[in-house]
Every structure is written in structure tokens, then in C-alpha cells.
Structure 1
Amino acid sequence: MPKRLHFTRRLNVAMSEDAYRTLRRFSEEAGLSQDEALCFLFEHFGSVTDDEALPHRLRLFKAELPDRKR
């Protein structure tokens, strides 16, 4: 029997416009609500990320943060 999808946690999330557009596009293409899409991504984080590319992408993102916050 599949686990019941019950949203027990509410999260007020701030994200960039690019990230929001990507989330919206992903949820529409997948036929999910944005809540369901985020739930899917975080529940399956290990299998939807590339283990080799993730550390590199994270380093790049962190290096760009000071400039992006201006």
C-alpha cells in the first residue's frame, strides 16, 4: 500500500525568479501541484541529483552568492 501524501509541514520559501519558473515548469510538465513537485524532489533527492555534479554545482552556487545578494 503506498504511503499517504499528507502535508504535515508548511514551509515559507523564498526563491529566485529563475528557481520559481523552473519549479512551475517542472510541476506543470509532471502534472503535479507545486507542493507535490517539491515533495517529490525532496523525497527522491538522492536519485534525482547527479552525485558527481552536485558538489561542483554547490561550490559554484556558494561562490556566486555574495554577488547575487547585491
Structure 2
Amino acid sequence: MPKRLRLTRRFPVAVTNDAYRRLQGFATEAGLTQDEALTFLFENFNSVTHSENLGHRLRLFKAELEDRKR
């Protein structure tokens, strides 16, 4: 029997316009709400990310982070 989808944890999130549009697009394309789309992505994080690319992209993001905050 599948786990019941109970969205019990809420947290304030601030994202860039680009990230928000990507989330909206993914949710719409998948036929999910944004909450359901985020739940899917985080519950399946290891299978929807490429571990080698993730590390590289994270290093790039962190290197640019200070400049992006300005």
C-alpha cells in the first residue's frame, strides 16, 4: 500500500524568479501542484539528480553566490 500524501511540514521559501518559473513549469507539465512537485523532487532526490553533475553545479552556484546577493 502506498504512503499517504500528507503535506504536514511547511516552511517559508524564497527563490529567484527563474527557480520559481522552473518549479511552476515542472508542476504544470507533471500535472501536480507546486507542493506536490517539491515533495516529489525531495523524496526522490537521489534518483532525479546526477551525482557527478550535482557536485559540480553546487560548486559553481556557491562560487557565484556572493555576487548574486548584490
TM-score (normalizing by structure 1): 0.98
Specify the alignment match of 2:69 in structure 1.
69
Number of equivalent positions: 70
In the alignment, structure 1 segments of 5+ residues that lack a partner are: none
Determine the C-alpha separation between the residues in 1 that align with 2:23 and 2:11. Answer: 15
Structure-1 residue corresponding to 2:44: 44
Deviation string, structure 1 residues 21-66 (Cα, Å, up to 9, x no partner): 0000000000000000000000000000001100000000000001
The letter of the residue matching 1:50 is H
2:49 counterpart of 1:59: no
Q: Which structure carries more helix by proportion?
A: 2
* Identity over aligned pairs, percent: 70
- Where structure 2 has 5 or more consecutive residues not aligned to the other structure, the ranges are none
Runs of 4 or more, structure 1, over 6 Å off, are none
SS at match of 2:12: coil
Q: CA deviation at 1:11?
A: 1.2
What root-mean-square deviation, in Å, do the aligned CA atoms of Structure 1 and Structure 2 show?
0.4
Correspondence for 2:16: 16
Q: Which residue of 2 aligns with 1:31?
A: 31
Question: Larger RCO: Structure 1 or Structure 2 (Cα < 8 Å, ≥ 6 residues apart)?
Answer: 2
Q: Secondary structure at the match of 1:52?
A: helix
Amino acid paired to 2:66: P
